[in-house]
Amino acid sequence: MRARFYLIKKLVDSEGAAPIYINIHHRSHRLRYYSGERIKQGDWNTEEQRAKSSYIGHASLNDLLDVLAEEPRTIERNARIAGIDCTVEYLKEQLSYNKAKPKDFIGVVDDFIREESLRNSWSSGTEKKWRFFKNNLARFNKNYRLELDSINDRFAQAYISAMVKQGWENVLIRNHISMAIQFASWARRNGFHTSTAYRNMEVNIPTQKPETNVAYLTIEEIARVNQVSFSENETRFEKARDVFLFSCVTGLRYSDLKNIRQSNIKYNYLIITSQETEDSIRVPLVDLAKSILEKYKGSGDINPIPVVSQQRYNEYLKEIGKRAELYEKVTQIQYKGRERIEITLPKWQLLTSHAGRKTFVTIAVFLGIPLETVSKIIGRKSDAFKPYYDIPDSKKTIEMQKFNMLKIS
């Protein structure tokens, strides 16, 4: 019987450490187990199959590997003394590290969320998305037995089918498949499985990018929103209106609006680190943004603008839009499985926290501000924010008049 240790270099993690595995050779069979330890290749002595003496903690790690290597020999020796045939199956039954109950799929997803949220300083919104994904997987797992190496094309098709039956939109389903791939890649790097099948998953469902379904306001509509008057006991609507207008002239997403502090305002600029992308953003403050900041300057709140919860904010925006008579019909497209669904509603019913950001980008493009400049202000690459804007018909009409200047005879 022989036991040897080796690194699986293909499973190196983000810090360059590879998992240490033990191979036990017994009666022409090979048993492989993960030791539970990781080490960088430069700290590993391949010939000795142990950590180098220069590695901090080498003594305790090597002692552990000695114990793991000696255990199968001890089992074989004791079996021989007791007159028991030490078959491969007998050896498997007796090995202590084979008896350790492996974590179930959902348990490993929990590990992923805990470790990655700490390592990448996830926002509460990002962690909430992953928790929702985990809970959805747990429900799916009741009818489809998930294993750590089962994130493959078969899983993708079964998951898509199950989610479509539950009425989920294709955009969310596609996002969940992408999250499953991200999780499977992490699990492989951390030695939970060795499969690469997750790399070949296909998601053959039509989707409409969520940004293209976001309503936006024209310049005339923004003016109407700004002119809406409120009674003394309706300050909640007035504050929500002001936050929305601030978003329309800064391009900030809700998570960044909520995290603005007075210290972020310097020399007529709003300087923040985006909660979602962690990019540094510098927004020049225009007159309307300055007047809103000045209006709430003495409020005593930690946030210089009165941002409420996103749920309440979205509710208030719809009431504000209704009072501003935003009755223009807007058609949104959704996909559920292969079914294309068109939903037509008045614009006020479609107002959400995303509308301010899309309004900013659309108006900036209408005003002729270069896309590169707009992308720097909102903290997105120019080719990535195109779904955030639309070209109003009035702009199209103006531009198309240029054809009338052609002398075609």
Query: Alpha helix (H) ranges present in 144-286?
Result: 153-165, 170-189, 219-227, 235-248, 254-258
- Does one domain contain both 27 and 129? no
What digits encode the pLDDT tens for the residues 153-180?
888 888 888 888 887 877 788 889 999 9
- Any idea what the CATH number is for the domain that residue 232 is in? 1.10.443.10
Q: What is the largest CA-CA distance in the chain?
A: 108
> Which of 151, 180, 205 delimits the end of a domain?
205
Q: Helix 124-140 crosses helix 105-119 at what angle (to 10 degrees)?
A: 170
CA-to-CA distance for 10 and 196, rounded, in angstroms? 11
pLDDT of residue 245: 95
Tell me the pTM.
0.53
- Does one domain contain both 117 and 198? yes
- Does one domain contain both 395 and 282? yes
Residue 141 belongs to a domain: yes
- Does one domain contain both 256 and 337? yes
Domain that holds residue 158: 105-205
pLDDT of residue 210: 46
Residue 289 belongs to a domain: yes
> Which of 75, 99, 123 delimits the end of a domain?
99
Residue 406 belongs to a domain: no
pLDDT of residue 401: 66
Residue 408 belongs to a domain: no
> Which of 205, 226, 242 delimits the end of a domain?
205
- Does one domain contain both 216 and 335? yes
- Does one domain contain both 86 and 153? no
CA dihedral 273, 278, 284, 288 (to 10 degrees): -80
Residues, the chain, total?
A: 409
- Does one domain contain both 171 and 237? no
- Any idea what the CATH number is for the domain that residue 189 is in? 1.10.150
pLDDT of residue 400: 60
- Does one domain contain both 110 and 85? no
- Does one domain contain both 88 and 60? yes
Number of domains, the chain: 3
Residue 409 belongs to a domain: no
All residue ranges of the chain with pLDDT < 70 are 14, 98-103, 205-214, 275-278, 333-339, 380-409
- Which strands, in side-by-side order, build the sheet including 17-26? 2-7, 17-26, 29-40
pLDDT of residue 211: 44
- Does one domain contain both 16 and 139? no
- Does one domain contain both 86 and 115? no
What digits encode the pLDDT tens for the residues 242-289?
999 999 999 998 988 988 998 999 888 898 887 666 678 888 999 999
CA-to-CA distance for 298 and 315, rounded, in angstroms? 26
- Does one domain contain both 219 and 340? yes
CA-to-CA distance for 353 and 343, rounded, in angstroms? 19
